[in-house]
Amino acid sequence: MCGIVGYTGNKKAKDILISGLKNLEYRGYDSAGICLQENNELLIFKDKGRIKNLITIIDGLSPNAISGIGHTRWATHGEPNQINSHPHTDCKNSIAIVHNGIIENYTEIKKFLESKGHIFKSETDSEVISHLIEEFYEGDFKEAFLNMLKIIEGAYAILAMDKNTPNTIIGARKGSPLILGIGNNENFLVSDPSAIVGYTANVVYLDDGEVVIIKNNEFEILDPVSKKSINKKVEHISWSLKEISKDGYPDFMLKEIFEQQQTIKNAFRGRISIENYDVKLGGLKLTPKDIQDIQRVFFISCGTSWHAGIYAKYVMEDLSRIISEHEYASEFRYRNPLIKEDDIFFFISQSGETADTLAALKLVKQLNGRVYGITNVVGSSIAREAGQGVYTHAGPEIGVASTKAFTSQLVVTLLIALYFGKFRKTVPQDKLIKIIEDLNKLPDIVENFLKKNIEILKSISFKYKDISNALYLGRGLNFPIALEGALKLKEISYIHAEGYPAAEMKHGPIALIDKNFPVFVIATRELYEKVISNIEEVKARGAKVVAIANEGDKKITKLADDVIFVPELEYHVQPIINVIPLQLIAYYIASFKGKDVDKPRNLAKSVTVE
């Protein structure tokens, strides 16, 4: 959600902070601001709206500051406006902070500080941080910061500056990501490594409860209780500037849809063998006996990743014959779940920082459950907390509406189901061969589909750009694809859309259907005749039907108003290609409506607070 950038070094901090915040725009935000330290003063610039508004305020000013902090805010406490924007300061404008997260006990802290004479300017929970540091300040910035941490409760990534402590930034994290970037006589603190691509590739991933102090040419990581230094491994970011640029595309989302021909391959590269039809997944650290003994598999996630979890449940039960469940992380973490010795839990998250998913993982660990991550970001909180799992290798995903990360999750969960099935001897050899062969040729199929069908998809999207509602239907493995198609349309075009199992349409949604309520139906070979019956029911009530169907299907052309043909693939692989036209329809409808597809309103790329 909120983006954080801190810099101290030998360059103009203003330029580096603005560059970093631009790279974090994809996370979602409603205001932006920076604080620069110059001549023992703190210079604050902030405004609501996009970063371009902030640039307008700073334009013409040339502060020479070589240290500063910046922030993009996604409102939780207090409306999105200039006053509630970060950075926040204390009463004397001596301390400035930026904060991502929620301070749960801020009301009590605020009352206490007001009784001490502190005057607050904003409605945010974050402002108590700067005032607490001021309250504890007795000439030692570090001590005041550490004493503040003893009081606050909740989730946070915090950066703080003191005008009397030149070129020094102190940071801390608990539940929200914070990363140290190490440069040449310069150091960075950021919420996401994309903020510093182009400046340094050397990073340290901070763990919960750690404090970091950066200066121009040194840094220190501390345990806040013992105040002792902690030695951490320096890791290397493999991202390039090209990966986080649009590279000639009008939007990141369209670029990422087209990247799926490569990211699907990356998800299975080195994990399947076309020569001997084998599947290998070393990151799971499970013996054949461990796999034989599994009684239940849980897939826990949020949003788009939850849809991947439904698909994962279906393929796991079908291919490995293990009882499987999918759960919303936000619900699971507040239940009193029953965890058995032979259960295993997969936590799916593109960013690896999703707050509810991370909290659910920690809960399962506390209950001695076995946890595994399925995530895209190396070094993310879920990857490190789980300590084992499978990376999806989709590369940086900048568009808020997930596309390539979703198809990579489908590939990875299918591989896990095959891997378990191999050791449990539940996958017939002919089926194993067909799945692996079709997975192997899927990248080329995606590439050819995109080349062949873009104009058709544009035409269909333009036809339906003015709709107010839509229904998406699918059965079996295509049910989660229907859910994902509806979610994409909602997220970026702001059109109300619902995904349903096709057979459930008669249990309510059919009451809504009329000539102004189009229905998008996934009608590939799975349960084909049943889906055809559902289309007949929809057509009888006057609705327009857009169908995703297999090539060569002549029957569907007599029923649907518009048809998008996809190649026929093995049953478990088919949904991966089926979702791509739905992603493109959502993209083009939103584009025709003039929406910002990469930064849809009210949404954040990574939900790092409850």
SS3 for 219-270 is: EEEECCCCCCECCCCCEECCCCCHHHCCCCCCCHHHHHHHCHHHHHHHHHCC
Between the CA of residue 465 and those of 197, 252, 461, 492, 594, what are the distances in Å?
Answer: 37, 21, 6, 12, 10
% helix, strand, coil for the chain, step of 5: 40, 25, 40
Sheet holding 296-301, edge to edge: 323-328, 296-301, 343-349, 370-375, 389-391
d(CA 563, CA 546): 6
506 is catalytic: no
3-state secondary structure of 434: helix
SS3 for 545-610 is: EEEEEECCCCCHHHCCCEEEEECCCCCCCHHHHHHHHHHHHHHHHHHHCCCCCCCCCCCCCCCCCC
Going by C-alpha positions, the residue among 459, 460, 485, 458 that lies closest to residue 471 is 485
d(CA 528, CA 549): 10
d(CA 551, CA 545): 17
Give me the sign of the Cα torsion angle 502, 503, 508, 512: positive
2 is catalytic: yes
| Residues with Cβ within 8 Å of residue 422, at least 6 apart in sequence | 278, 279, 432
How many residues belong to the chain?
610
- 391-402: burial string, b at 16+ Cβ within 10 Å, e else: bbbbbbbbbbbb
Cβ 458 vs Cβ 589: under 8 Å: no
Q: Which of 46, 48, 313, 605 is catalytic?
A: 605
| Catalytically active residues, by annotation | 2, 605
